[in-house]
Amino acid sequence: MLKIDLWKRVAIWLVVAIGILVALPNAFYNRVEMSNDAEALIAQGEGGSEVEAAAGDWPSFMPDNLVNLGLDLRGGAQLLAEVQVADVYETRMRALWPEVRDVLAAQRDIVGFVTDESDTDGELRVRISQAAGMDTALELARGLAQPIVSLTGAGQSDIQVRQLSDTDLVISLTEAEQVATDDRTVAQALEIVRRRIDEAGTREPSIQRQGVDRILIQVPGVGSAQEIKDLIGTPGQLGFHPVVGSTSDPDARAGAGNILLPSLDQEGLYYIVENSSVVSGEELVDSQPTFDQNNRPAVTFRFNASGARKFGEYTQDNIGSPFAIVLDDEVVSAPTIQAHISGGSGIITGNFTVQESTNLAVLLRAGALPADLEFLQEQTVGPDLGKDSIEAGAIACIVAFVLVLVYMVLSYGLFGIFANVALLVNVALIFALLSMIGGTLTLPGIAGIVLTIGMAVDANVLIFERIREEARTAKGPARAIELGYEKALSAIIDANITTFLTAVILFAMGAGPVRGFAITLGLGIVTSVFTAIFVTRLLVVIWFERKRPKALFTGKYLRLVKENTSFDFFKRAKVWLGISAVLVVVAIGSFAVQGLNYGIDFKGGTTLRTQSAQQIDVADYRAALVPLELGDVSITEVFDPNFGDDRFVTTVALQAQGDEEAVSNETIGAVQEALRGLDPEMTFPAVESVGPTVSGELIMDAIIAVVLAIGAVLIYIWLRFEWQFALGAVAALVHDVFLTIGIFSELKLQFDLAIIAALLTIVGYSLNDTVVVFDRVRENLRKYKAKDLKDVLNLSINETLSRTFMTSFTTLLALISLYVLGGDVIRGFVFAMIWGVIVGTYSSIFVASTTLLVLGVKRDWSKTKKNVGGQFADIDA
């Protein structure tokens, strides 16, 4: 019976209401953002009448979480930096030499003279003059080892000592200590970068550790990546100051020669310290987490010779007094001097946990970067370009929305209106989930939403088409609706799980905007399934309970495919396979002969986007750059119907010069200056640089992602169907991938990381189509056990043909809107998607199904079963 329990109805409407409420702040983005900024200022004690008024612009009882806007929408700079962790090994060895020298020199009568003979970075090679004392030297050197302070290195020592010859021994970090050092070094670099950028007061910077030794830095609102690099290079202000007193009053008078500084980790506590430091951070050589004599977490520190002398004299005269460790005008810690600290090293004890001691050591070292940063990737997006992208994306979304809404009403009438309501709820839920998880919306992410608009109707189309079928044979409309949802469920689940798998792989293997696309696509799949199965169904049930119609779909509706088609798709099966094979061979040939027009994602280099109010002459641009002797420079004029008569855009692609790892900022500046010679008002709204290290990794990651996606599909289809179905699906996917690569090769379109995202989405979309057909094939094989496989395949494709064309058409409506109105920045990505929808629709019918026909299907259910399960053994599931 067509019925939904009351508690289920309440739960569905509750989810919808919460989703709309959480998504609502995004409809008032600027207003909510200003209110949130004002509240943050008030919390920091920087309020005022204007600030308080801005904070009140958004009701405090309303949700205020917003979707983060990516740099390609907001404008700003992004840097991917690699920490040169190996540099620290050498620094540690150099710092260890005085200790080794002193401890061995104390036994000079046994070991003789001690000299440093180091010739390899990261190792300390020590030579003694008396070979007979080697055993003593090894024992003394090993006595300098300290336990590793990390969870992974617990119980192990930080250094290893080995004998190299009769008179030489070598000291180096153990493998476990190298791992712990790498982790501490990157954590320290991360903290320094964060403090430098926070100090500049930039809006909502994102600074994240990426992988083992890399840091991803995203800062909205800055003019260029170089500004961030300059900011990061600023040395930290670290000092050790005498403490005069402490107070909880932030307005307390410090007195002459003193300053009032807040505690870093104790809110409401302020220290009065002398303005002049005893020792500066420049004299701090090292700081490491350790354990004290009672095996409690502590922190060691070491000064250079000058700092050791000054700190030794101060501690001798001030035993029992506290001293403040000040970093960037905040007191990191204020330990009490327990004893005279001579030799330039000491230990800070307290009620620390292991993590707190590690963090304090990081903060102490945060006065300067522990190792060099190599910038592997840089990107700058001007705010105007970001604003244009938002406007273009918004217009494309609205147009796509309207087209799909109108088309659904024309195709299904009232049922189409129900689907449209669910579609609106679907988009609200996507924004709600992005707001809740703090997700970032990028330009490809907008494309993901537009694609979701097109694909979200697929589940509803599957259901509505099935209801139409059942209405012809079922006893009454209630039973038709019930059977429609029941029989469409497996196709919906299978199709969306396979697409979701590709989104997961895309998220795991992708980076930056590609990951944003994967997030919106994955969330869109989840929300579209929810709205189709629950929201649309609830609306249909409520309508049915009130109206009690005698028949369904009685009016005249727009149909792309007439009812009860009976095309023989396999009459020329060999011809279709032949055509596909030829196209694949041509695609492979084109790729082999002329390759792909790789973007800088894959080949490295720098791309500048120029914008001018004057007519562009590419020859003049090239002539202006000739004196710079840059080698291969690619200059491409960008055409877009959205550009006005006073807006002319080009992209200028540069390769790294000579032995440079990447294009230097001096080279970029020279290019900009040369081009401004043609037009002094020329602007550069976007600059992107990728080093060869990253580009090589991206190529490998892209290949792995595509292989993983196809492999995951193969396994899933094999488990859910039979191996013949899996091979048929994979044949269609490989066909689609080759043809997409082929057309990009033939047309010399730019092939970058976004196109890999499009390829994986094509895999998901093509699979969605194929699985729907295969699901009907499986159902009909059970239903018509005596029918020839060819007839079953023909029947299944004809029965799902209307749904196939409906879904493809709605998806194309959305994508074409994005292609025409979405701006030139993602046009290549959208073109790949449009091509993928077309070839994916073709391959699901003519490649996957024909492959299945050639392979045949083992129809176990058509055989007579042995009666081993009692009286119910022969019941067909």
DSSP for 708-721, please give it: HHHHHHHHHHHHHS
pLDDT digits (tens, 9 = 90+) for 516-566: 777 888 888 889 889 888 998 899 889 988 888 887 777 677 777 787 788
Quick check: 851 and 727 in contact, CB under 8 A?
A: yes
Q: Write down the pTM of the prediction.
A: 0.68
3-state secondary structure 782-811: HHCCCCCHHHHHHHHHHHHHHHHHHHHHHH
* Nearest alpha-carbon partner for 216 in 379, 455, 425: 379
Beta strands (DSSP E) in 87-224 are 114-116, 123-128, 159-163, 168-173, 206-210, 214-220
Output the CA angle 747-753-754, nearest 5 degrees: 75
Q: What percent of the chain has pLDDT over 70?
A: 88
pLDDT for 291 beyond 60: yes
State in Å, rounded, how far the first CA of the chain is from the last one: 21
pLDDT digits (tens, 9 = 90+) for 119-161: 888 889 999 999 999 999 999 999 888 887 665 656 688 889 9
Tokens of residue 705, six digits: 């992602």
Quick check: 225 and 378 in contact, CB under 8 A?
A: yes
Quick check: 126 and 141 in contact, CB under 8 A?
A: yes
DSSP 599-621: -HHHH-EEEEEEEESSPP-HHHH
- State the pLDDT confidence band at 867, using cuts at 50, 70 and 90: very low
Q: Whole-angstrom Cα distance, residue 518 to residue 508?
A: 9
Q: Which pLDDT does position 2 carry in this prediction? A: 67
At residue 779, what is the residue type? E
Q: Whole-angstrom Cα distance, residue 293 to residue 300?
A: 13
Q: Quick one: how far is CA 712 from the chain centroid?
A: 21
pLDDT for 818 beyond 60: yes
- State the pLDDT confidence band at 656, using cuts at 50, 70 and 90: low
Residues contacting residue 374 through CB under 8 Å, at least 6 positions apart: 81, 82, 84, 661, 691
Quick check: 93 and 124 in contact, CB under 8 A?
A: yes
Q: 3-state DSSP call for residue 289?
A: strand
Where residue 201 falls (left for φ over 0; alpha for ψ -120 to 50; beta otherwise) is left
Q: 3-state DSSP call for residue 523?
A: helix
pLDDT for 46 beyond 70: no
Q: Quick one: how far is CA 179 from the chain centroid?
A: 25
Phi and psi dihedrals of 233, rounded to 5? -75, -10
pLDDT for 201 beyond 70: no
Reported as type and span, the H/E element at residue 246 is strand 238-247
Mean pLDDT of the chain: 80
Which tops the pLDDT comparison, 256 or 490? Answer: 490
pLDDT digits (tens, 9 = 90+) for 849-858: 888 888 887 6
Reported as type and span, the H/E element at residue 650 is strand 648-654
User: Looking only at Cα atoms, what is the longest distance across the chain?
Assistant: 110
* Interaxial angle between packed helices 827-846 and 573-594, expressed in degrees from 0 to 180 and rounded to the nearest 10: 150
Q: Which of these ranges, 110-114, 146-150, 666-670, has the smallest mean pLDDT?
A: 146-150
- State the pLDDT confidence band at 395, using cuts at 50, 70 and 90: confident
Q: Which pLDDT does position 863 carry in this prediction? A: 44
At residue 146, what is the residue type? Q
The one-character DSSP state at 322 is B
Q: Which pLDDT does position 135 carry in this prediction? A: 92
683-690 and 373-381 beta bridge pairing: antiparallel
Count Cβ atoms within 10 A of the Cβ of residue 38 and give its class: 0-12 exposed, 13-18 middle, 19 or more buried: buried
The one-character DSSP state at 187 is H
What are the Cα distances from residue 330, in Å, to 40, 252, 267? Answer: 20, 16, 11
As a whole number, mean pLDDT of residues 364-382 equals: 74
Helical ranges in 169-277 per DSSP H? 175-199, 225-232
pLDDT digits (tens, 9 = 90+) for 292-322: 878 888 888 888 777 888 888 888 888 888 8
As a whole number, mean pLDDT of residues 726-739 equals: 87
* Nearest alpha-carbon partner for 427 in 523, 332, 324: 523
As a whole number, mean pLDDT of residues 680-695 equals: 78
As a whole number, mean pLDDT of residues 826-837 equals: 83
Q: Which pLDDT does position 126 carry in this prediction? A: 92
pLDDT for 390 beyond 60: yes
The number of beta carbons lying within 10 Å of the beta carbon of residue 511 is 18
Which tops the pLDDT comparison, 157 or 343? Answer: 157
CA dihedral 382, 383, 384, 386 (to 10 degrees): 90
114-116 and 123-128 beta bridge pairing: antiparallel
- State the pLDDT confidence band at 874, using cuts at 50, 70 and 90: very low
As a whole number, mean pLDDT of residues 436-450 equals: 77
Residues contacting residue 203 through CB under 8 Å, at least 6 positions apart: 37, 220, 221
Q: Which of these ranges, 73-77, 608-612, 723-727, 793-797, has the smallest mean pLDDT?
A: 73-77
Radius of gyration of the chain (CA): 34
As a whole number, mean pLDDT of residues 640-654 equals: 78
Which tops the pLDDT comparison, 151 or 209? Answer: 209
pLDDT for 13 beyond 90: yes
Find tokens 């670099």 and name the residue.
189
